[in-house]
Amino acid sequence: MRFDLFLVPGPVKENRLADRAVVIIDVLRASTTMCQALQAGARAILPFAESGEAAEMRIKIGLESTLLCGERNGLKIENFDLGNSPSEFTPERVRDKIIIMTTSNGTRAYAGIDRSSLIITGALVNMSRVTRAVADSGRDVAIMCAGRLGQFSIEDTLCGGLLIHRLLTETGRRADLNDAASLALLLYRSNSRALKETIAQGEHGRYLRELGFADDVALAAGVDTIPVLPVLKDKRIINNDVE
Amino acid sequence: MRFDLFLVPGPVKENRLADRAVVIIDVLRASTTMCQALQAGARAILPFAESGEAAEMRIKIGLESTLLCGERNGLKIENFDLGNSPSEFTPERVRDKIIIMTTSNGTRAYAGIDRSSLIITGALVNMSRVTRAVADSGRDVAIMCAGRLGQFSIEDTLCGGLLIHRLLTETGRRADLNDAASLALLLYRSNSRALKETIAQGEHGRYLRELGFADDVALAAGVDTIPVLPVLKDKRIINNDVE
């Protein structure tokens, strides 16, 4: 079994990802928000890199059935319906809606991954579901951390380290780890008793808290609090339990 | 005092680097080879991102006083004088020569850094010299790891972690670390007794050993074996002891 972790999005040779279980992690906040949106009954999430593409798709699908959501530099994009706070995605707002979403880091990672792969949205809030799905698939694993502005972010790497730790512990299998996967495992094991504090004190955590999003940071640091399994099918992220 | 480490080259906001002591680290192998070349008496090293630019500069300066050096995928570029093995850079070959150099990762990092900064080439082989120069400068620190093909590499991050460890220990000063600097420090402290093994077993170390460069990997993992201080002045990397 191979575990390759990527600390930042970047040029990944396609053959390293074909037929893999690919877990895309953006703890602050896109992955966490997607879990919340699906838990609250959203029908699907369509991830886009650019806000222009997202707005065009909204017109194409129709205003009534969709919500346009996303942020830049942490703040809601002008004229969008919602930003990127999990707490905005209540059942009243999102049930049966299609969420069209564009964020600074997380939504970009979905483009260009080989279709043969099983593509899962991973966060701390749904880590047990992700672990089980990856283990059950029997596939080699690729963990794509969204990072922040092209640089490593501690919360995504911690989350990737937790996933590797659990896969190794729960499956009891041996695995080949790339350097970044070993690093993530070391980071997780060194901070496993202080996940919330480490994330809150990290650069991205501090930035979001300064913007007034302390509740989002605390929510995103909760392990297994939103037990859904978002998977990408036909360019849509859907709740695997519903389909 | 601020320590910012960057695990991979990427978009770094300029103001984070102005007036800093900037240490560019590519342990395997550009930084190590540059130290070796200057130790062997090369007059200067001119770093280029692209082989075409490097070849043009060679013609501009003149064939007699220059050597064209570099690699792609670890192997010497066709028609170049030398590759990127430290052992090729003997006094007989390089004394008084200007080295025009282009490598896959390390030489790219020199472009675009603010001129107000003190720009130093860092490797394990010259770490004491780098530590002293950075400490004496009294400047905030930026550590740029070259990485490998746009991804984190363990040897550069270990080397950055050693630099931070020594700066904290030797200066006794407090410092603010970014997330990646904290990670590098954790990585170094967890592997400080097995630097050579960790580097040899890392992805890049394994790749170079498979290509037949095991001696380069062993040489590059030696701490303080080539005590020179390469600094960038007017786009040339020179031996600070000679100028």
Cβ atoms of B225 and B125 within 8 Å: the answer is yes
CATH number for A190: 3.90.1560.10
In a domain, B19, yes or no: yes
Residues pairing with B191 in the sheet: none
Residue A236 is inside which H or E element, if any?
strand A236-239
Inter-CA distances, A130 with A127, A135, B117, B159, Å = 5, 8, 45, 34
Give every CB contact of residue B152 below 8 A, 6+ residues apart in sequence.
A7, A8, A152, A179, A180, A183, B7, B8, B145
C-alpha span between A77 and A70 (Å, rounded): 6
pLDDT tens-digit readout, A106-143 = 888 887 777 788 999 999 999 999 999 999 999 999 99
Handedness of CA A53, A54, A57, A59 (dihedral sign): negative
Binning pLDDT at 50, 70 and 90, where does residue B8 land?
Answer: confident
Closest residue of chain A to B176, computed from CA coordinates: A203
Q: Identify which of B6, B149, B152 has the shortest CB distance to residue A179.
A: B152
Which of left, alpha, beta for B115 (phi over 0: left; psi -120 to 50: alpha)? alpha
Task: Name the residue with higher pLDDT: B23 or B112.
Answer: B23
CB A187 to CB B186 under 8 A?
A: yes
Rounded (10°) CA dihedral A131, A133, A137, A139: -40
Q: Measured between beta carbons, which residues in chain B are less than 8 angstroms from residue A8?
A: 7-8, 10, 150-152
Task: Report which DSSP code applies to B119.
Answer: E
pLDDT tens-digit readout, A14-30 = 566 789 999 999 999 99
Q: Identify which of B150, B190, B203 has the shortest CB distance to residue A186.
A: B190
C-alpha span between A124 and A127 (Å, rounded): 5
For residue A163, what are the domain limits? 2-239
The total of structural domains in chain A comes to: 1
pLDDT tens-digit readout, B79-135 = 999 999 999 999 999 999 999 999 988 888 887 777 788 999 999 999 999 999 999
Number of H helices and E strands in chain B, helices first, is 9, 11
Q: Measured between beta carbons, which residues in chain A are less than 8 angstroms from residue B182?
A: 154
Put simply, whether A44 touches B (Cβ < 8 Å) is: no
pTM for this entry = 0.91
Residues pairing with B143 in the sheet: B5, B23
pLDDT tens-digit readout, B28-58 = 999 999 999 999 999 999 999 999 999 999 9
In a domain, B243, yes or no: no
Helices (H), chain B: 30-39, 51-61, 91-94, 127-137, 154-171, 179-191, 195-201, 203-210, 214-220
pLDDT tens-digit readout, B186-202 = 999 999 999 999 999 99
Give me chain B's average pLDDT, please: 93
